Amino acid sequence: VARFVLHVDLDEFIAAVEALRRPELRGRPVVVGGSGDPTKRGVVATASYEARRFGIRSGMPLRTAFRRCPDAVFLPVDAPAYHEASRRVREVLAEVPGTLEPLGWDEAFLAVETEDPEALAREVQARVLERTGLWCSIGIGRNTLQAKVASGLAKPRGVFLLTDERWTEVMGGLPPDALWGVGPKTARRLAALGIRTVADLAAADPAVLAAELGPALGPWLVRLARGEGSAEVHPEPAPARSRSRERTFQEDLADPDAVRAEVRRLAAEAARDVAEEARPATRVTVKLRFAPFRTRTRTVPLPVPAAGREALEAAALAALDRFELDRPVRLVGVRAELRPPG
DNA sequence: TCTGGGGTCCTAGGACCC
DNA sequence: TCTGGGGTCCTAGGACCC
């Protein structure tokens, strides 16, 4: 039997969960994000396919989405509901013989051994729909990169096979940001080097890209373009490296004392998260986003690794003291780096 | 247009040491 | 007066992903 990696990706996940419990939403443009008030600060978490027809996309400011489609239904993010739906989907996937690696709320890799991966994928897709009412798309590859890219090509409600034999034919003509790990910035830097397609990137000299983009990044990009990647699927999540809390304010904070108070609050929340990890923190970083949108960070090592609220608060306040609080602040964040296990 | 929150990994530059 | 060549650690920023 042959080994394949499946990437299972729920279709318009959050919007689909909302439509499940409110059937009257079916067929309507639905936008889920923030508090559900499109006049407030926040971004789109998921837009239904109907809303996407108006150009609404994940990550877009809610205010922009509202302008594009004032008649859309705007809903607040209901994280517990999505976690529950996610758990039920995972339950179904865990019954498939193979190794399961969840990836966020609405995706998972599944390493399987089969002679007919497409038939298996169709079966998984049907079972998820039957048991949860949710549609997914499934990409099939020899490694996680191929599977991940394939699920995007499968959408919606599809199955797509993308192994070595078909990689060049399917991917060669696409822009580099079709690859998992290449975003708009890297795509622009590649374009400046004359690299405009995945085929261009696959044919590029790794040493040249290393010099242009960095010793690790350059050669890695060439491997991506060739469809090469890890086939490892990890049943256990990697130990967390950090825990963080951050908050964007509806109105910018002009008062330094209010910023201090928020830093203390976030440090206390981060301390609770750290305590759950059963490992102490080693460094604390405070992040401030100044109006209009300039982000700065300051990091302070803890004198001795600690998980307590007092220690994290003290370190966070020390980091905050290294800022000049002379401009309004729109976001405050506190991040604790954890000591690696062992 | 006005840009969330929670993460991971990479890079560049400076400090420091031998 | 004109200052090598690593290696490692630390910090800040950035890119990307879900």
- Which nucleotide across the nucleic acid strands is nearest to A190, CA versus C1'? C15
Cβ of A297 less than 7 A from strand C: yes
Cβ–Cβ under 8 Å, residues A49 and A85: no
Q: What is the pTM of this model?
A: 0.96
Distance A102 CA to B13 C1' (A): 37
The catalytic residue among A12, A18, A50, A107 is A107
- Give me the mean pLDDT over the A311-319 stretch: 98
Distance A189 CA to C14 C1' (A): 14
Distance A283 CA to C6 C1' (A): 29
Q: How do residues A38-85 score in pLDDT, each as one tens digit?
A: 999 999 999 999 999 999 999 999 999 999 999 999 999 999 999 999
Q: CB less than 7 Å from strand B: which protein residues?
A: A 34, 41-43, 45, 58-61, 63-64, 67, 213-218, 238, 240-248, 273, 292-293, 330-331, 333, 335
- Give me the mean pLDDT over the A309-315 stretch: 97
Distances (CA, A) of A80 to A77, A83, A105, A326: 9, 5, 11, 38
Q: How do residues A132-178 score in pLDDT, each as one tens digit?
A: 999 999 999 999 999 999 999 999 999 999 999 999 999 999 999 99
Q: How far apart are CA A118 and CA A138, in angstroms?
A: 9
Of the candidates A117, A124, A89, the one whose C-alpha atom is nearest the C-alpha of residue A4 is: A117
A69, HSE (Cβ side, Cα atoms, 13 Å): 22
Give backbone dihedrals phi and psi of A210, rounded to 5 degrees, phi first: -60, -45
Neighbours of A84 (CB within 10 A): 11
pLDDT (0 to 100) of residue A342 = 80
Active site residue A251: no
- A79-83 long-range contacts, Cβ below 8 Å, gap at least 24? A81/A17, A81/A18, A81/A21, A82/A13, A82/A14, A82/A17, A82/A106
DSSP A340: P
Distance A28 CA to C15 C1' (A): 35
Residue nearest to nucleotide C17 (CA to C1'): A181
Q: How do residues A188-200 score in pLDDT, each as one tens digit?
A: 999 999 999 999 9
Of the candidates A230, A2, A229, A228, the one whose C-alpha atom is nearest the C-alpha of residue A118 is: A2
